[in-house]
Amino acid sequence: MDTATAPQRRVPRPRADAVRNRERIVTAAREMFVEFGPDVPLDEIARRAGVGNATVYRHFADRDALVRQVVLSVTDRVAAHAERGIAAADTGESTAFEALRTFVHAAADERIGALCPMLSAAFDPHHPDLTEGRERLEESIEGLMERARRAGELRADIAVGDLMVALSQLGRPLPGTACPDMDRFIHRHLQLFLDGLMAPARSELPGAAATLEALRQH
């Protein structure tokens, strides 16, 4: 048994400035990924965060570790939106589908789509650091969809993966574009997609519903 699993680890409390630096790095990284795409140099992220480049490596072993942290941070924020939607549906504050619509637009505003470009070929989406967050996100979205499905507002032939993928794809910026008013288009297209999700189904879908298992297989 090593220290990592020991019940009482000696964790010297992190210094306040170290914590602040870590947060600033993640925030800067998220902003710059959104703004400049996945290839932004780490040195630039460090500069935006106001720290030296080596400080980034003190907090994150390598580029992927930083990316994971950013993914996790966005995942958490989006999951919170989904959970809020569930609450709204359960309290009757809005219909389940309305809650779903609200959630989708909110997730887009969190730049969930901007995360995708970060995921370089080398990125491992199944990394342990991410599972907890992803499960929380999936469960909450699933809960939201299930309520809409039960209410007969959501077509029955789609699964949570369908929504997640489309949300990511439609929500990400057009490449080669720093186009800030792309937002308008994003919300239009999400709205159209949501219309396509409504029951009754207007067409037969090819393939099988994108469950989470299906997404994980690749």
Smaller CB separation from DNA, 51 or 107:
51
User: Is 124 near DNA (CB under 7 A)?
Assistant: no
DSSP notation for 190-207:
HHHHHHHHBSSPSSPPSS
Q: Which two tokens stand for residue 102?
A: 């609200």
Sign of CA dihedral 151, 155, 158, 164: negative
The smaller minimum CB distance to DNA, of residues 21 and 69, is found at: 21
Pick from 76, 192, 89, 198: which is nearest to 144 by CA?
89
Whether a cis peptide bond, with omega within 30° of 0, leads into 200 is yes
Contacting residue, 27, 35, 57, 157, with DNA by CB under 7 A: 57
- In terms of CB distance, is 19 or 185 closer to a copy of itself? 185
Binders of DNA: how many residues, by CB under 7 A? 25
Q: Is 68 in the site for DNA (CB under 7 A)?
A: no
- DSSP string for residues in 122-166: T--TT-HHHHHHHHHHHHHHHHHHHHHHHTT-B-TT--HHHHHHH
Which of 18, 87, 156, 165 is close enough to bind a copy of itself by CB under 8 A?
165
Let me know how many helices (H) and strands (E) the chain has, helices first. 10, 0
Tell me if 200 contacts DNA by CB under 7 A. no
Query: 154 - beta bridge partners?
Result: 198
Contact pattern for a copy of itself over residues 114 through 133, marking x by CB under 8 A: --xxxxxxxx-x--------
| Residue 200 token pair | 């009754």
Region 50-89 residues binding a copy of itself, contact defined as CB under 8 A: 50-51
For residue 218, the 8-state DSSP code is: -
Instruction: Print the binding letters for residues 21-50 with DNA: x by CB under 7 A, - otherwise.
Output: x-----------------x-xxx------x
Residues that bind a copy of itself (CB under 8 A): 2, 4-5, 17, 36-39, 50-51, 101, 116-123, 125, 158, 161-162, 165-166, 168-170, 172, 174-179, 181-182, 184-185, 187-189, 191-198, 201-203, 205-208, 210, 218
Residues that bind DNA (CB under 7 A): 4, 12, 14-18, 21, 39, 41-43, 50-55, 57-59, 61-64
